[in-house]
Every structure is written in C-alpha cells, then in structure tokens.
Amino acid sequence: MSDATVKPTDQVAPEDTISTEPTPAEIEAWVERERQRRQAWLAGPSDEEREAYADHLRHSNLADRFGTGEERLNESLRVGVRYGREAQLAAEGAMALLYRFTRRTFAELVEAGRQWEEETSLPPRRRRVRIDDERS
C-alpha cells in the first residue's frame, strides 16, 4: 500500500510532502544551462555545423528537383498508358462495328463514299489540242 493510505494527511510530516517548486540548486543549474545556450547562439554555428547545414540544403534541393522530375515522369507515363489504352479500345470498337455490319450496309457505305467523291471532286482537266496536230 502507498503511504497516503497508511498515514492520514494530518499525520504526514512537512518534509514528506512533495514540492512542485524547483529548488535553488535546480534554478541555478537551469540559469547556467540557459546562459551557455545563449552564448552558443550568439557565437553562431561552428564551421562543421555550417558545412553540415550546407550539405543538408544541397541534398534537400537535389531531392526536391529529382522528386519533381520523377513525379512528372510518372504522370506522363500514366497519361500515355491511358491514352494508348483508349486508342486501342477505339480501334477495337471500330473493327467490331464494321464486323457487325451486314454486306448490304457495307455496300451502302461504299456507294455513299462514291457519291461523295463525285460531288466534291474537281471536274476533270480538259486537254488542249494544238491546231498543228489537226492539219497533219
């Protein structure tokens, strides 16, 4: 059992109570640590720390650049695969539609194509005949 259950609170001695306040020795230790930390901050980073930080920046910049490029490459590959698949499906669908047409429907399409060519093509060029060719 704990002391609190064994001793009633009115029987606990003052030296047994837990203080939430820091002791003067703890305060002095904290002050010294804080003084040293602030002095180190005012002195600035050491040469080794500067070099380590520069290396860190270089590596992070390279990682960002290559990461962005890799993302672009992955996106373009994904889009390319998708468009390729859609083109394949469109070609297969067109072949399926042509296959399903009856011969009569196919013949109608051919006839419509011939009519369109006749309507839209230019008139044939007429050849000029020289007058000298007629005399001979």
Contact (CB, 8 A) for 22 and 30: yes
Give the separation between CA 62 and CA 74, rounded to whole angstroms. 18
Q: Cα 101 to chain center, whole Å?
A: 45
Ordered by start, the domain boundaries in the chain are 47-111
User: How many Cα neighbours within 13 Å face the side chain of 75?
Assistant: 6
At residue 58, the pLDDT reads 87
pTM, 2 dp: 0.30
Which 8-state DSSP code applies to residue 11?
Answer: G
Give the separation between CA 76 and CA 23, rounded to whole angstroms. 65
pLDDT, averaged per 10 consecutive residues of the chain (136 residues), comes to 55 66 93 94 89 89 73 85 92 82 77 88 70 62
